Structures are given as C-alpha cells and as structure tokens.
Structure 1
Amino acid sequence: MSARWLDDEQWDGGGQRLRRKRHKPQGRRRLADLTAQPSADQGDDIIRRLVHLGHLTEVVAELKSGKEATAYVARGPSGTLLLKIYRDLQARSFKDDSVYREGQVILDRRAAKAMQQRTRRGLDMLQSGWVLAEYAHLWTLWHAGLNVPEPLAGPFPVDYAETVPAVLMRLIGTEDHVAPRLSDVRLSPAQAQSAWAQALSGMADLLRLGYVHGDYSTYNLLWWEDTVTIIDFPQLATRQNPNFQALLRRDAESLATSFLKHGLQISGDQTLRDVQRRALGPAPTPRVTLP
C-alpha cells in the first residue's frame, strides 16, 4: 500500500508516521524564473498559470520589492500591466495583519480556528484572503470612480481567485516610464498643492464609502501627469473594524508627515478634519464597465 499525506505528515499504509513533510515558504521570486519560457522546467508555476488563463504574455522587469510582495512590469492581451506577486505569509517581513482583520466575521468555525492558530491550512487561507481582498477592494473603488489602478482579473471572485498569489492591474505610466510614488518626486509649489488636494479627496472618497486605507501616505500614492493615484489595498478596513477610527487618524497623520518633504506643514488633526469635511461632499462619478 502506498504512503499518504495527511496534515503535512507522511504515513505508511499501516498508519505509522514516517516523517513530516517540509514546506519552504516562497519568498521573493527570481526575475530569471519569471522571464523564462512558461513551458520550460525552470519557469515559474504562477507565470505558467497566468499565461494559460490568458492574462499574461511575458514579464518584462522587476519594478519594486516591498514588505509583502514584489511588483513587476509585464505584458498581456490588454497591454502593459503591473504584476504584483505576494510572498508566502511566513516569508514576509510584515506578518501580523490582525489589526486590519478585526471585525470580520468568518462563518466557517474550522477555518477561523485554523487561521487563529496559524496552521499550514490557516496560513494558506490568510494568504489567499489577503490577495483576494486587494482584488475586491480594487474593483469596488474602480467602479466607484476613485483614482486607483484598473484591476485586470475579475470582476467576479471566481475569476480573480485563479490568479492567487498574484494581482494583475493596469500599469500607471508607460513601460519605459512607470509612474513614480509621490514620495520619490520633486514637486513645484503649485504641484504640491494640487497633489495635497487630490490626496485629501482620495482619502475622503474612501471614508465616504466606509473605508480607511490603513497605510495612506505618499509612499502609496503615485504621481503621473499631475494626477494622484492611490495604490495598495489589501489592508483596507471597514467601519465594522473596532480600530477604524484609530486607523483613520493614523492615516491622516501619516499623510501630513509624508507631505513635509513637499513643503507643506499641516497637522494630522487638521488633515483629519479636512478629510471628514470633504467626505460630506459629492462623490466621484462611478465608472460603467462594459460587458
């Protein structure tokens, strides 16, 4: 009788434990593996899957590596896109997302227990949930008319779930000149005022929809053709989260602090008041997605 796998352990046919299956967390992927021919043995399994699904044709270059994921410039049937691939949860420098997940209701008690105990299955579910949340938030915000990258898989979960642990979105900028973060550019006084007003409006638009970004600063705002685009949404929290107000205040303070580089000295308290006032105003025009 052949051996079988159960809960990451190997057992023989008589029920005797042989050894524990080892799983090495997947961290940052090598660009050489992502750019290899999808059919080659050295190619990456995620890239093969995305090519097979028709989302991707090739990876061009690595753009940026962060705490949770690495972003790449890629090409697909819809043109140039941004490919964001998350590391396994165990391989991230940022691992504790509990402050953002508070208030979420998980009806499957076994699943909730696995995530709480951070078993292998639980970590896999946390990983998938983090990626699927970014897609879901992107679609909600895109349809609501906010300046966010257009998601390129979906809009239904059954479609974008097939791309986990990757997120596909329209590239802001061009293949040769990708939009920089606001934290990395030099602005004229007039541009700084415009960027500030747009950043406040973006945060207010989120608040109007019942969201707080959770990591809102010039590091997660792009600047392209004098327009601010908001990025990075997996940690987005709703009003059901008991930390909502604290996260909102933290975002206001982070935004104000990060704009000091551009010569604007505005307190976090004033920023929060301005955002709350703007949230009472008119909403952006919703986008209509053609079938």
Structure 2
Amino acid sequence: MSARWSEDQWGESEQRLRRKHIKPTGRRKLADLTAPEPQDIADDIIRRLIDLGHIHEVLAELKSGKEATAYIARSEKGSALLKIYRDFDARSFKNDAIYREGQVVLDARAARAMKNRSRKGLEMLQEGWVMAEYANLWHLWQAGLSVPEPLVGPHPFDYAATIPAVLMRLIGTEDEPAPRLSEAKLTPEQAQNAWNQSVQGMADMLRLGYAHGDYSTYNLLWWENTVIIIDFPQLTTRQNPNFRELLRRDAESLATSFRKHGLHETGESTLREVQRRALGPGPEPRLVLP
C-alpha cells in the first residue's frame, strides 16, 4: 500500500482543499443521502456516485463504525454496500501509523504534510486509505479469496472518483444483510466450519504476503455457511517492519473472538496453523473481464 505523489497531484490536492469546508465531515445522516429526485439529494458524494452511474439510490444505513458508515444501496450490478469514510480528523480511530510504516512517499512535501497531519496531509491520508481499500479488495478478489466483489474498478482512475466512498457487492440481501460472525448464532458444527474457513482465509492472505491488521470475527461476515472477509484499508505487506507483530496480533484476535462460539484455541497455535496452511495451494483465481 504505497503512496506516490507528483507535483501535479500535489497541486490538485491543494485545489481540492480550497473548495473543501473547513469543518470535517463525520457520520452522514441518511436523510441527506436520499431524495425523490437525484438533484435534490443534499450530499454531494451521493449525487456524484449517481451521476457516474455507480448507484441508483441509497436505501438504508447498515452499520456505523469508527472510520466509516456502511449503507445499503442499489446499482446497475445489483444490491450494493456503500461504505463512506468520515474525514480523517473526524474519526475516533486515527492511529494509523503502525499500518503505514514502510510505505514510499516520493514527494517530500507530501510526506511532511502527512507526518504533521496538516489539512493537506489529512486529505492525502484520507485518499490513501480509501484507495488502499479498493486496491486490496481487488487484489484479494481476483486471487479468489472469500471477499466482497468490488463494484468500481479495477483501474485506480475509476475508483479514485468515488473517494471517500467504497462500493462493493452486498453480502446477503437488502432485507437480510449478512451478519458479522461475532453476532451470528452458530451450532458447534457451524462454529468449527467457520473457524476452519477463517484460519484458511488468514493463511490465503499470508500466502499473498499480507497481514490483515484487524482480523477477528468483527471483520468476518457469515452467510450461507460461508465466511467472507471484510475491511481492508489497513492491510499491510512484508515491507512494513510491523508485519510480524500485526500477523501475530491477528492470530490472537481471531482466537480470542472465537471463544464466544465455544472454540478455545490460543493465538500461538492459531498462528502456527496459519503459517502451515500458507505453504499450501491457494484458491482458484477469478477472471476479471475488461
């Protein structure tokens, strides 16, 4: 997840900042995202997504978290999950430095702005966070992992136009979205099946050189006896000096969060099993048509 800023990009970022309200945008009200006619929608992001043809309408709020709020929407490709990030300085979670170590920022001014978290730097951090989620989601989906299908892309030029939103296929239905694994009620057999899939998913990411960075039943969905991995902006690679720590933390978090379902594995044994499975074959890659 690297960020490379040219002089032109820096200039474009400055122009966007001049147009942007000083007050950071946090959680958006559903009423501002909907209206009988698109031109009457108060939120400019939703109007832009409709103008670009990515969505038709927003139906409901699904869940609000520390970084973003997820909504159910409709698109030409069917039911969609629309994830809209809050402005970086309007989030309760802001300590992202551990995930960004090892990234390369070629423009010294951009690097300094992000480090100092100036207004320019915060906007670039916001853009990098959203672009990373799209890029990581596309990579994992194309590699055949059990993740939601991204609905914009795969070229960065296309999904850059949706910032600060990420659009992916809804898991479940509009009336019954897939629950998080942390909230699902499982039989002992289902719990064992879900554990096996969750460990395999972590191993499949490791095989690709990734650590999730926040891997637990809170970032796993459960639908039709299948585990689906979500939430990828903080995904890190081996170039991050914290990679081993994050991988170990993921294993511990997964083991701890599964105790609710009656499984009592340790973080250490989970990590060993993930590393063992990562040496095996991966899933069948998906073909992405141009």
Q: Superposition pairs for residues 199-210 of structure 1, below 5 Å?
A: 199-210=198-209
> Is contact 1:38-1:48 (8 Å) kept?
yes
Please name the residue that 2:161 is paired with: 162
Please name the residue that 2:38 is paired with: 38
Q: Superposition pairs for residues 1-291 of structure 1, below 5 Å?
A: 23-36=22-35, 37-40=37-40, 43-291=42-290
1:8 shift after superposition: 11
Q: Distance in 2 between matches of 1:9 and 1:173?
A: 38
Higher relative contact order (CA 8 A, sep 6+): 2
What's the TM-score once normalised by structure 1's chain length?
A: 0.92
Q: Distance in 1 between matches of 2:21 and 2:58?
A: 30
Q: 1:290 to 1:90 in 2, by over 3 A?
A: same
Matching residue's letter, 1:260: R
Q: 1:138 to 1:192 in 2, by over 3 A?
A: same
Q: Distance in 2 between matches of 1:159 and 1:186?
A: 39
Matching residue's letter, 1:266: E
Q: Distance in 1 between matches of 2:16 and 2:137?
A: 34
Q: 1:195 to 1:9 in 2, by over 3 A?
A: closer
SS state at 1:240 partner: coil
> Is contact 1:133-1:234 (8 Å) kept?
yes
The runs of 4+ residues in structure 1 deviating greater than 3 Å are 6-10
Q: Distance in 1 between matches of 2:181 and 2:82?
A: 20
Q: 1:22 to 1:33 in 2, by over 3 A?
A: closer
Matching residue's letter, 1:85: I
1:240 shift after superposition: 0.3
> Is contact 2:181-2:222 (8 Å) kept?
yes
SS state at 1:182 partner: coil
1:38 shift after superposition: 2.3
Matching residue's letter, 1:38: P
SS state at 2:98 partner: helix
1:186 shift after superposition: 1.1
Q: 1:8 to 1:197 in 2, by over 3 A?
A: closer
What's the TM-score once normalised by structure 2's chain length?
A: 0.92
Structure 2 residues without counterparts, runs of 5 or longer: 1-13
Q: Distance in 1 between matches of 2:275 and 2:212?
A: 14
Q: 1:114 to 1:175 in 2, by over 3 A?
A: same
1:9 shift after superposition: 11
Q: Distance in 2 between matches of 1:189 and 1:220?
A: 21
Q: Distance in 2 between matches of 1:172 and 1:253?
A: 26
Deviation digits for residues 30-58 of structure 1 (CA, Å, limit 9, x no counterpart): 00010123201x52100000000000100
Q: Distance in 2 between matches of 1:288 and 1:100?
A: 30
1:117 shift after superposition: 1.1
Q: 1:7 to 1:39 in 2, by over 3 A?
A: closer
> Is contact 1:38-1:44 (8 Å) kept?
no
SS state at 2:259 partner: helix
Give me the identity figure in percent.
71
